[in-house]
A and B are shown apart, each in its own frame.
Chain A
Amino acid sequence: MLEQVARERYPRLVAYGMLLTGSLAEAEDLVQDALVSTFSGRARFGTAAEAEAYVRRAVASTFIDHGRRRTAERKALVRAGGRAVPHAVEMTGGGLAPEVEGALARLAPRERACVVLRHMEDLSVRETAQLLRLSEGAVKRYVPDGVAALNATLGTTSPSEGEPVEVRRIATRRARRTTRPKEVRRDA
Chain B
Amino acid sequence: MRDLTDVMADSRDARATSLDGLRPGESEVAGLTARVRRRRVVRHTVEAAVTLPVVAAIAIGGWMLMGDRTGPPPVTTPTPSPTSTEPSPSPSPEETPAPEIVLGDPITEPGLPPYYPMPLGLLDRTGPGWVLGTYAPRAFDVDFSRWGLPETEVVFLVSPEGVRFEAARFDLATVDGTGTTWTEHELVSWQAGARTAVVQAVVYTVVTSSGTEDVEPGGLMTLDLLTGVVAPTVGDPPSDLGVLNSRGDLRLGTGAVTEVGTGTVLGSLDGETASGWCEPVAWWTADSILATCVDDDGYNLDIPHLELNPRLVTFDMAQLASGEGVILRPLAEGEQLPMLWGSDQVSDGVVVVQATTLTPGVLAAADCPSGVYLLTGETTERLPASDSHPDVELNIFEADAIGRTVYVESTGGCSGGARPSILTSYDLDDATFIELIGPPPRDGQAEYRWIQGLTSYVVGE
| A174 CB-CB contact with B under 8 Å | yes
> Distance in Å from the Cβ of A109 to the closest Cβ of chain B?
16
The residue that A154 contacts in the complex, of B7, B19, B40, with Cβ under 8 A, is B7
How far apart sit A47 and B367, CA to CA, in the bound complex (Å)?
Answer: 8
Chain B residue numbers with a CB within 8 Å of A35 are: 32, 36
Known: A6-B29, A32-B28. A156 touches B3 (CB 8 A): yes
Give the shortest distance, in Å, between A145 (CB) and chain B (any CB).
13
Q: Does A16 count as interface, using CB distance less than 8 angstroms? A: yes
Interface readout for B403-433 with A: 1 if CB under 8 Å, 0 if not? Answer: 0000000011111111000000000000000
Question: Is the CB of B18 closer than 8 A to any CB of chain A?
Answer: yes
Please indicate the chain B residues that have their CB under 8 angstroms from the CB of A8 in the complex.
270-271
A151 in contact with B4 given A41-B215, A181-B41, A188-B416 (CB within 8 Å): yes
Contacts of B417 in A (CB 8 A): 179, 184-185, 188
- Given the complex of chains A and B, what is the CA–CA distance between A177 and B362 in angstroms? 14
Q: Are A2 and B38 in contact (CB under 8 A)?
A: yes
B396 CB contacts on chain A under 8 angstroms: 44, 46
Q: Is the beta-carbon distance between A46 and B369 smaller than 8 angstroms?
A: yes
- Tally of A interface residues using CB under 8 Å: 75
- When each residue 13-27 of chain A gets 1 if its CB lies under 8 Å from chain B and 0 otherwise, what string results? 011101100001000
Answer whether A11 and B217 are a contact pair too, CB < 8 Å, given A120-B12, A168-B5, A168-B9.
Answer: no
Q: Which residue of A lies closest to B1 (CB)?
A: A157
Q: Mark B1-43, 1 if CB is under 8 A from A, else 0.
A: 1111111111111111111111110001100110111111110
Task: Say whether A79 faces chain B, with CB atoms less than 8 Å apart.
Answer: no
| Residue in B closest to A127 when the chains form the complex, CB atoms | B211
Which chain B residue has the least Cβ–Cβ distance from A183? Answer: B211
A157 to chain B, nearest CB (A): 5
A12 lies within 8 A of chain B by Cβ: yes
Contacts of A119 in B (CB 8 A): 4-5, 8
Q: Which B residue sits closest to A135, measured CB to CB?
A: B209
Chain B nearest Cβ from A158, distance in angstroms:
4
Given contacts A40-B35, A44-B413, A180 and B8 within 8 Å (CB-CB): no
* Distance (whole angstroms) from the CB of A11 to the closest CB of chain B: 4
Residues from 44 to 101 in B contacting A, C-beta threshold 8 Å: none
Q: Of all chain A residues, which has the CB nearest B369?
A: A46
Binary interface encoding of chain B residues 283-305 relative to chain A, with 1 for a CB under 8 A from any of its CBs, else 0: 00000000000000001001000
B35 near A131 with CB under 8 A, answer no
Nearest A-chain residue to B253, judged by Cβ: A3
Contacting pair B416 A179 (CB below 8 A): yes
User: Could you tell me if B16 and A15 are in contact, using CB atoms closer than 8 angstroms?
Assistant: yes
A36 CB within 8 Å of chain B: yes
CB-contact partner of B11 in A10, A36, A96, A173, under 8 A: A96
Known: A3-B254, A42-B418, A158-B3. A61 touches B8 (CB 8 A): no
Complex Cα gap A69–B340 (Å): 37
Residue from B7, B29, B146, B241 with most neighbouring chain A CB atoms (10 Å): B7
**Contact partners of B13 in chain A: CB under 8 A:** 15
| Chain B residues with CB under 8 A of A71 | none
Q: A11-B19, A97-B11 are in contact. Are A170 and B146 (CB under 8 A)?
A: no
CB of A147 within 8 A of CB of B255, answer no
Considering only CB atoms, which chain A residue lies closest to B145 in the complex?
A: A186
B366 at the interface (CB under 8 A from A): yes
**B38 and A181 contact, CB distance less than 8 A:** no
Q: Is the CB of B15 within 8 A of A101?
A: yes
Residues on B with C-beta less than 8 A from A171 are 9
> Is the pair A44, B36 in contact by a Cβ cutoff of 8 Å?
no
Contact in complex: A181, B147 (CB < 8 Å): yes
**A-B contact list, 10 entries, CB within 8 Å:** A1-B340, A14-B16, A35-B32, A41-B215, A43-B41, A44-B396, A119-B8, A133-B208, A154-B7, A173-B366
Interface residues of B (CB under 8 A from A): 1-24, 28-29, 32-33, 35-42, 140, 144-147, 207-217, 240-241, 253-255, 270-271, 299, 302, 339-341, 354, 363, 365-369, 395-396, 411-418, 451-452
Question: 9 nearest interchain CB pairs?
Answer: A188-B417, A100-B11, A184-B417, A42-B39, A15-B15, A15-B16, A11-B19, A46-B414, A97-B15
